[in-house]
Amino acid sequence: MSSLQLPTLQLLASKIPSDISPTHVAQEWLKNFTAAIASEHSSLRSLFVEDGFWRDQYALSWDLRTIQGLDRILDYLEHHLAESRFLVGALVRDQHRTPLLIKPLPDLVFLQLSFKFETAVGTGTGTCRLVNSAGIWKAYTLYTALEALKGFPENTGAFRDANIGHGDWAKKRAVEHELAGDNPVVLIVGAGHTGLALGARLKALGIRALVVEQRRRVGDNWRDRYKTLSLHDPVWYNRMPYLNYPSTWPVYAPAPKLGEWLESFANSLELDVWTSSTVDDALWNEQTKTWTVHVARNGLSKSVEAKHLVLATGLGGGAPNMPVVPGQELFKGNAMHSTDFFSAEDYLGKRVVVVGAGSSGHDIAHDFANHEVDVTMFQRSATVIVSAKTFNAGLTRLYNEDTPVEVSDHLSVSLPTRVGLEFYRRIFPHLAATSEKTLLDGLEQAGFKTSLGPGNGGPLPLVYERAGGYYLDTGASQQIIDGKIKVRSGGEIERFTENGLQFCDGSELEADVVIFATGFGDPRDVAKRICGEQVYAKLGPVWGLTDEGELGRMWRECGQENLWLTTGNLAMSRQYSRLLALRIKAEEEGLIL
């Protein structure tokens, strides 16, 4: 994806007045915007810069769109504004979203404002970033997001169950859990954080969902990972919807602890989860517009009808991407994927090679070094490295103890992805030359190759391109610098030998254990296995960014009716599960024509 030119003060020939009143500017712009929307929207030309953005999530259409350029924005409005009946409401002036000047870069100043709106079907919030263009404040980015459906509130807060007598609650839950002859509206495959977040959102909207999980307990997808795994993102970023962590929760949660939390989450929110169950296949009926899903459970095959099928099995469907290396049958040691590794304690005294220099590769090598095991990391190509402390310092400006996570999510998503990537292209080289310089120089001197990432944008472009290829350092980098983790960088593995690996240049690396930290497969593979070749053929690339800067087929229509592909970290799953639940509820209530 090509870079873009940010509206810097120099480019706009602008100087910000010292006596500016952000609230006054916001009120004037919003008044003019309201008038333009209500009458002749072509007058929006005077309110936007020419290459401005409008990011829309279900306010004007039932799709996730980012439109750039005035002509395209006006064309989008021409097709959707009248039908949506979009009406601008009041300026938001609470403590977290009152109009203010923000300076994300030294030469870039935004005046940020938020406002309420309503449409024919619901209500939401918009956020705009204005720039001063030769003395006139104009919109550079506008974000509109549907947040609630009229007449169908979530059963939270004032709308929660107010009945005093609940009867035999345990019996009622048991009947609900077993479906008792009823079919769910939505069947979700996978009870990780993504499937549970969506299940909770749907339940809050009165949509019955069944979550099917192949593991024995909810949370086992985290308990069963390597023993030392913990989250690299802070607690304020990694919340689940509706149920917040206690104030004693650690900033970086260990994986088993998160697994326990997810099981508690499912129980507390009364989600219907069938564990130790697998989906054999799912057949789409074009006449009835339903899925027939065959679930293997307790040794029996059960047929479940559902209108919507959601695949929430992880970025690669949880299937390891295990390279096929010739000669593995000759190898006298153990070769495995990182998903089969649990602890360095199982390999004391061994010589270990970790293939892969992303997050899992570093974590596993770190574990071995902490146990004084002879470990070498094979790095095929340069890796983006940034300390978790530095990376999360920026994250916690938005996600923190004081800001409600719903506000943080809105402000985070309100920035078009392409603009965010351009910020990182400006910021990351500066970090590499300042706060991260000692770390990166030490790694290079140790033979570990570092990179500034695609377009010098650091880890963020890699998140969207491949969901890997970077490491937020939590200690392994210093062990590489100190020689506790040895490095083999560059080249290609040609084959296994009896005693290790041989490379294409003829060199060898002896090992008793080879661990492939090589990620996971194509997210479409699980759709092929469950839904068949015909459905698979309809699916385009599901990860990676479109030209508009939105994710390809994730969390949106994927090419097959009523099939939804979902994945992401805890934050993305929290953010986008809300939108997908609204989308499904709107369809079930006949709001989508």
* pLDDT for residue 119: 97
Report, as an integer, the average pLDDT of 277-286: 96
Q: Please write the tens of the pLDDT for every residue from 109-144.
A: 999 999 999 999 999 999 999 999 988 999 999 999
The domains found in the chain, sorted by start residue, are: 22-149 (3.10.450.50), 172-318+526-541+554-588 (3.50.50.60), 328-516 (3.50.50.60)
Please state, in angstroms and rounded to a whole number, the distance separating the CA atoms of residues 94 and 97: 6
Rounded to an integer, the average pLDDT of 205-222 is: 96
**pLDDT of 406-455, one tens digit each?**
999 999 999 999 999 999 999 999 999 999 999 999 999 999 999 999 99
Q: Residue 316's pLDDT band (boundaries 50, 70, 90)?
A: low
Which of 592, 580, 589 lies closest to 145 in space, CA to CA?
580
Structure tokens belonging to residue 461: 């472009």
Predicted local distance difference test score (pLDDT) of residue 100: 96
* pLDDT on residue 408: 96
Does residue 2 carry a pLDDT above 60?
Answer: no
Q: Give per-residue pLDDT as tens, 357-411.
A: 999 999 999 999 999 999 999 999 999 999 999 988 888 999 999 999 999 999 9
- Per DSSP, helices labelled H in 446-542 are 459-465, 476-481, 524-531, 533-538
pLDDT for 542 equals 83
Question: Phi and psi of 245, rounded to 5°?
Answer: -70, 155
pTM (predicted TM-score): 0.94
Which pLDDT belongs to residue 318? 65
| One-letter identity of residue 328 | Q
Mean pLDDT of 225-250: 94
Cα–Cα distance for residue pair 128/317, rounded to 1 Å: 37
Question: Nearest-CA neighbor of 559 among 531, 581, 586, 579?
Answer: 531
Task: Name 278's bridge partners.
Answer: 296
Secondary structure of residue 432 in the 3-state scheme: helix
Q: Which residues contact 25 (CB under 8 A, 6 or more apart)?
A: 99, 111, 130, 137
Q: What is the pLDDT of residues 563-575, one digit of tens each?
A: 999 999 999 999 9
| CA–CA dist 316, 520 (Å, integer) | 5
Give me the percent of the chain exceeding a pLDDT of 70: 99
Nearest Cα neighbor of 22 from 138, 135, 127, 101 is: 101
Residues 499-523 have a mean pLDDT of 92
pLDDT number for residue 340: 92
Pairing type for strands 300-306 and 290-297 reads antiparallel
Distance CA 315, CA 568 (A): 7
Average pLDDT of the segment spanning 586-590: 96
* pLDDT of residue 1 exceeding 60: no
The mean pLDDT value of the chain amounts to 93
Amino acid at position 338, single letter: S
Q: pLDDT at position 368, please? A: 97
**In angstroms, rounded to a whole number, what is the distance separating the alpha carbons of residues 78 and 68?**
15
Q: Residue 175: what pLDDT?
A: 87
Position 427 scores a pLDDT of 94
pLDDT, tens digit, 9 for 90 and up, residues 449-503: 999 999 999 999 998 888 888 999 999 999 999 999 999 998 899 999 999 999 9
Q: What is the pLDDT of residue 298?
A: 85
